[in-house]
A and B are shown apart, each in its own frame.
Chain A
Amino acid sequence: MTVGGWRPARVVETVPATPSARILRLAVADWPGSLAGQHVDVRLTAEDGYQAVRSYSLGSYGSGETIELGVDEIPDGEVSPYLVRDVLPGDELEVKGPLGGYFVWQPGGVAPVQFIAGGSGVVPLMAMVRAATDAGAAASARLLYSTRRPENAIYREELSDGAGDRGVAVSWAYTRAAPAGWDGQVGRLDDERLREAVWPPSSAPIVYVCGPTGFVEHVADALVRLGHPPARIRTERFGGA
């Protein structure tokens, strides 16, 4: 993986995803393509030359010159409020990447794969879900997605629609409020819920966990306690700012 320089990117579409998040589709000339799970650095330049750079996960993967970011607004942030509220189709920014060679999923492995997302941590896992579906590997892949409320789930419709014959099976967990008719628990993911929704250690899954630090710490600790070998658990934590 060799990272090139900054590439101009044009916003082609903005899609509201949750009350605080938006999906941005960007056209990037000569984009080299990405693996599922990689991220990009996004650089914004103000008219007076002031710049800020942040990293965002790609919800898209593969070749093609359109990439997709899922951005959740951090209320006192500097960059995410601009990307979630201000940017419009036709606006320009710059990207560098793709970046990251570890928290990625590629077809061809024999073991089942378990994705566990907390909040906006679903974005790189969505790229993996899409890649697994496209590769015909969805039957051996599962996603467990924990959000506060149903309306806080990025990609909710795609994940709900895709769980049919050829899609990745999705289990939902809600920490604050569940949809009408939900007969499961509401609250933090506990050991029992993880045991139900996650491939058991006996089937030797590789597990990808992504979300806020507290979520990832809690889930990774629980998985180890339930018998998953630490070396089979890959984590990516979303920091603040």
Chain B
Amino acid sequence: MAVISRGFGARRRESDPRLPPGQYLTEDFPVLSAGPTPRIDLSEWRFDLRTESGEGASWSWDEFMDLPIEDVHTDIHCVTRWSKLGTSWRGVSLDTLVDAVETEASYAMAHSYGGYTTNIPLEDLLGGRAWVAFEFEGEPLDPEHGGPARLLVPHLYFWKSAKWVRGLTLMDDDEPGFWEQNGYNMHGDPWTEERYW
């Protein structure tokens, strides 16, 4: 039985069925990160995919741009409770990237320029549900939002969509990444409010 807060509710927002429980709508694009924004030169940018057996694939920016590019329209949900509806992105599907290697792994660790990490079950990255995105609303992705490229896993809380992504390590067993070691859930489904430990 919830505690009633006297007089609360006068400024309530309209609810929207696209909002997961406990989320509110925002029109701007808040920035949340644990340290300074890395600035990565495109000529030095690489995306490395490493499998559980140590095999790998690697792409330079130019090679990455030659991969099939998809348009993505999606809602995004941050664990700090803002959601943003109807955002537009362009990027390369994780299906395309993982197709380049042989793997039986069940989990992935995303690694970012700047040292950030986050863990994601591989099944949440495949099947047309995740991308490495480099455009937002028709523009190159801004550095403070993770440019030149970030992971985009819109069906999970947005801390899983690692900014400044530089690669994935595929793993047989799950391991906690940065925020997962600092109090956040190992999976992060917004619809079941997998926020904290």
Which A positions have Cβ atoms within 8 angstroms of B? 1-3, 6, 8, 43-55, 77-78, 81-82, 86-88, 91-94, 99-103, 213, 217, 220-221, 223-224, 230-231, 233-235, 237, 239-241
Contact = CB atoms under 8 A, between A and B. Distances in A.
Contact of A235 (B5, B22, B35, B81): B35
Contacts of A91: 5-7
Interface in B4-24: 4-13, 22, 24
Contacts of B80: 55, 239
B93 to A, nearest CB: 29
A194 B33 CA distance: 21
A220 B33 CA distance: 11
A43 B195 CA distance: 15
B36 A3 contact: no
Contacts of A101: 181-183
Contact of B82 (A46, A102, A224, A241): A241
A95 to B, nearest CB: 10
Contacts of A86: 7-8, 10
Contact of A99 (B82, B114, B196): B196
Contacts of B181: 101
Interface of B: 2-13, 22, 24, 26, 28, 30-38, 80-82, 114-115, 144, 178-179, 181-183, 196-197
A97 B74 CA distance: 31
A235 B163 CA distance: 15
Contacts of B197: 1-3
A235 B33 contact: yes
10 contacts: A53-B81, A78-B13, A82-B7, A82-B11, A101-B182, A102-B179, A102-B182, A220-B36, A230-B35, A230-B36
Contacts of B82: 239, 241
Contacts of B13: 52, 78
Given A44-B8, A45-B8, A51-B2, A237 B36 contact: no
B38 A230 contact: yes
Given A54-B81, A240-B28, A240-B30, A217 B37 contact: yes
**A interface SS class:** mixed
Contact of A47 (B9, B28, B32, B36): B9
A166 B157 CA distance: 43
Contacts of A52: 8, 12-13, 24
Contact of B35 (A78, A92, A233): A233
Given A77-B11, A82-B8, A239 B183 contact: no
Nearest to B11: A78
Given A53-B81, A99-B196, A237 B32 contact: yes
B30 A46 contact: no
A114 to B, nearest CB: 14
Contacts of B2: 6, 43, 45, 49, 51, 94
Given A45-B2, A82-B7, A220 B30 contact: no
A3 B196 contact: yes
Contacts of B115: 231
Contact of A221 (B37, B179, B183): B37
A235 B34 CA distance: 5
